């Protein structure tokens, strides 16, 4: 879902018949949006519920006393907050800001924490704004550096007219690519030719703990991890992203923080099918020979933020359609946790065949007394529930079988594509 707003017409074609996409103003991509704002004094758990209910991944925080926007709140901020409360960030006291110290104190005293204290807590996605007439070429250039979304603020600076995101631009380009000859020619090239199939990949074993995966994403500044089979094949089973924290918060399933990534993938698969009424794939893949045009269309159709580049290892074919779900069995679903369950593999694809062996990076170990397979210990369950004012829940993880989608050799993100599309000076 495009972050910060819910509007199906955000990617509609501009009224101007101009063929020069670089001159299109940002305001034409955010017409008719309903911008969702969060009051700065709202408790963090209530702010999280707004993101979930509105189907958005971030929202601007508005301070009614100062009559100004003071920042953004997204799922990365929420995860950072949880890590701080659970003492898993390793932020030494000298480096803690006044806001962080206040947040820790309030959580320790079981007080509600206002969302303003968690706004931009991760320091990864600050509040960026542009004027309505900012050209699309300038927007694409900014997004190519890794910014995920920006507020389109009125000329007087008093009102947000809309939020333009990376997904907004991809959707617009997908609908209008045939009108822009230079982009159409570029989009005909393959990911391999554009060197988009060689991006470094962070992977996590299927039996790794969700909390460790979330911490790794925050620590390494990535938004998702490929979840691979724990055996030697390392086949791609799915992915876990920062936004998957919504499945932990949505029905107060906080015990999933101490369950395995594979268990969360299964649960998310069932939840997504319940919402959409269809068997929807949990991961979307392309091959190195896929065209940029195909990749843009797939990202726009699925509203995904990244595509995994995979090569067939003789098993299942890569998933390239949003209606392809996992239907086979996986012999490793019942394996016990291995010694690698608390490690990440950072796989840098140095060649187009992706033959570089993975480098193992250690992350935080499981809490004392807790096991990856058996959920949450009583003490940690109460710690999470107390921090977010939630009741203790106990749910058995679903056992939906999943198939692998080949061996992952790269990742193509929205940032990667927009960087390629950035006009040269």
Question: CA-CA distance, 80 to 77, in Å (whole number)?
Answer: 5
The CATH class for the domain spanning 201-417 reads alpha beta
The pLDDT of residue 104 is above 90: no
Domain ranges of the chain: 21-179, 201-417
Work out the angle at residue 394's Cα, subtended by the Cα atoms of residues 393 and 400, and round it to the nearest 5 degrees. 125
Instruction: Copy the structure tokens of residue 412.
Output: 């193509």
Q: Residues near 31 by Cβ (< 8 Å), separated by ≥ 6?
A: 9, 10, 12, 162
Q: What is the spatial distance between Cα 57 and Cα 59, in angstroms, rounded to a whole number?
A: 7
Is residue 130 pLDDT above 90, yes or no?
A: yes
Q: Which residues pair with 68 in a beta bridge?
A: 63
Residue 316: predicted pLDDT = 44
Residue 302 CA: distances (Å) to CA of 46, 53, 103, 167, 322: 28, 19, 36, 10, 6
More confident residue, 220 or 274: 220
Residue 369 in this model has a pLDDT that exceeds 60:
no
Q: Which two tokens stand for residue 21?
A: 């996409």
Burial class (CB in 10 A: 0-12, 13-18, 19+), 79: buried
Mean per-residue pLDDT, 270-291: 73
Q: What totals of helices (H) and strands (E) does the chain contain, helices first?
A: 12, 14
Domain 21-179: give its CATH superfamily: CBS-domain (3.10.580.10)
CA atoms in the 13 A half-sphere facing the CB of 133: 2
pTM of the predicted model, to two decimals? Answer: 0.76
Separation CA 370–CA 377 (nearest Å): 5
Q: Is the dihedral of CA 176, 191, 168, 244 positive or negative?
A: positive
Mean residue pLDDT across the chain: 77
In the predicted structure, residue 377 carries a pLDDT above the cut 60: no
Paired sense of beta strands 58-63 and 68-74, if any = antiparallel
Q: Do domains 21-179 and 201-417 have the same CATH topology?
A: yes
Q: What is residue 346's predicted lDDT score, i.e. its pLDDT? A: 34
pLDDT digits (tens, 9 = 90+) for 15-52: 444 478 999 999 999 998 999 999 999 999 999 999 99
For 256-265, how does the pLDDT look when each residue is reduced to its tens digit (9 = 90+)?
A: 899 999 999 9
Model confidence pLDDT, tens digit, residues 311-341 = 886 544 444 333 333 333 333 333 333 333 3
Q: What does the pLDDT average to over 268-288?
A: 71
């Amino acid at each position: 879902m495009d972050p910060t707003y819910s509007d199906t017409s955000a990617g509609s074609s501009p009224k101007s018949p101009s063929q020069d996409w670089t001159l299109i103003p940002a305001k034409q991509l955010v017409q008719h949006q309903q911008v969702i704002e969060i009051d700065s004094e709202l408790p963090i758990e209530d702010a999280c519920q707004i993101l979930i209910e509105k189907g958005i991944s971030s929202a601007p925080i508005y301070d009614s006393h100062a009559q100004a926007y003071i920042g953004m709140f997204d799922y990365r901020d929420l995860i950072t907050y949880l890590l701080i409360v659970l003492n898993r960030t390793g932020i030494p006291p000298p480096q803690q800001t006044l806001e962080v110290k206040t947040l820790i104190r309030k959580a320790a005293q079981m007080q509600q924490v206002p969302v303003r204290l968690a706004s931009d807590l991760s320091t990864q996605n600050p509040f960026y704004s542009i004027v309505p007439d900012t050209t699309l070429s300038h927007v694409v250039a900014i997004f190519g550096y890794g910014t995920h979304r920006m507020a389109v603020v009125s000329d007087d600076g008093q009102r947000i007219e809309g939020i333009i995101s990376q997904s907004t631009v991809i959707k617009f380009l997908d609908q209008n690519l045939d009108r822009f000859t230079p982009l159409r020619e570029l989009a005909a090239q393959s990911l391999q030719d554009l060197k988009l199939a060689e991006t470094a990949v962070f992977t996590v074993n299927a039996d790794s703990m969700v909390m460790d995966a979330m911490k790794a994403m925050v620590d390494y500044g990535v938004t998702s991890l490929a979840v691979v089979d724990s055996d030697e094949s390392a086949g791609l089973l799915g992915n876990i992203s920062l936004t998957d924290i919504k499945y932990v918060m949505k029905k107060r399933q906080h015990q999933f923080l101490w369950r395995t990534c594979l268990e969360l993938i299964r649960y998310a698969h069932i939840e997504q099918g319940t919402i959409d009424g269809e068997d929807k794939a949990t991961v979307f893949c392309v091959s190195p020979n896929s065209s940029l045009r195909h990749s843009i269309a797939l990202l726009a159709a699925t509203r995904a933020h990244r595509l995994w580049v995979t090569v067939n290892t003789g098993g299942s074919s890569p998933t390239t359609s949003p209606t392809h779900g996992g239907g086979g069995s996986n012999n490793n679903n019942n394996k016990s946790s291995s010694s690698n369950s608390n490690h990440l593999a950072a796989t840098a694809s140095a060649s187009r065949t992706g033959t570089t062996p993975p480098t193992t990076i250690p992350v935080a170990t499981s809490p004392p007394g807790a096991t990856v397979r058996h959920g949450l210990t009583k003490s940690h369950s109460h710690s999470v529930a107390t921090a977010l004012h939630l009741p203790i829940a106990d749910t058995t993880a679903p056992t939906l079988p999943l198939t692998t989608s080949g061996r992952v050799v790269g990742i193509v993100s929205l940032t990667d594509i927009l960087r390629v599309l950035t006009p040269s000076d």
